[in-house]
Amino acid sequence: MKRVLQRCAELSLALMMCAKASIVVFVPLLLLSELFLGRSSIHAIENVFAGFLLFAIIIYLTFCWFLSDDSEMRERIRAEREARDATLIEAIQQPGYWSKELQVPELDREALFVTLKAQGYNPPHVMTTAHFLAKRIVKNELRSHGVSSYHVEPAVVSAAARAMFPSRAEELIAEAKIWLDRQ
């Protein structure tokens, strides 16, 4: 029912716009009728124009009266969505969210860098690519919960990626190596 009323209001608004645009037609018509026709034809044209405009305004106001204001409902839904998103964002920034283990092992960066150098990789490139992949996983996780990554600050995504990195370091570094080997 609401859609029908909304469409009718749009239609009546279009009628009102046509009535306003018809001024371009009626004014020259009035001027011509004043020159060539009698006074009665001018009044007839004026009455038709006024009736058309009045009819459009009445229809528009009638349908607008019946349309409900759902801004409160939209505001409530938006607040609920923001609260849900904030809870999810807070949860994914915790290392326990990404790991089934209770204690996430610390990452020995020095040993990792030595191993990467021994394998012939540039450690900063591998780590940068691995962090990029971690951010990608975080964004996919947000999307899977219905949160657009565009509505989340990049710092929050980076913090969640840093929290996730130690629990999936081996997997991410292996995938980063594959990415770098392709280039």
Local confidence pLDDT in tens for the 183 residues of the chain: 566 667 766 776 776 676 666 666 666 766 666 666 666 666 666 777 777 777 767 776 776 666 666 677 888 888 888 888 888 888 887 777 776 665 556 777 788 888 888 988 888 899 899 999 999 999 998 888 888 878 788 888 888 888 888 888 888 999 999 988 887
pLDDT at 129 (0 to 100): 92
Place of tokens 């996919």: 140
Model pTM greater than 0.85? no
Q: What is the b/e burial string over 117-144, where b = at least 16 CB atoms within 10 angstroms of the residue's CB?
A: eeeebebeebbebbbebbbebbbebbee
Q: Over the Cα atoms of the chain, what is R_g?
A: 33
Separation between Cα atoms, residue 92 and residue 108, nearest integer Å: 23
Q: Write out the residue range of the structural domain in which residue 174 sits.
A: 77-182
Regarding whether 97 and 47 lie in a shared domain, the answer is no
Do the domain assignments include residue 72? no
Final residue of a domain: which of 36, 66, 96? 66
Regarding whether 157 and 85 lie in a shared domain, the answer is yes
Final residue of a domain: which of 66, 93, 118? 66
Tokens of 160: 């969640």
Do the domain assignments include residue 160? yes
Number of domains the chain is built from: 2
Are the CB atoms for 52 and 22 separated by under 8 Å?
Answer: yes
Hey, which bits of the chain come out as E strands? Answer: none
State the average pLDDT for the chain: 78
Regarding whether 110 and 54 lie in a shared domain, the answer is no
Regarding whether 60 and 12 lie in a shared domain, the answer is yes
With a CB cutoff of 8 Å and minimum separation 6, the contacts of 132 are 176
Name the residue among 148, 144, 116, 110 with its Cα closest to residue 130.
116
Name the residue among 3, 17, 15, 1 with its Cα closest to residue 59.
15
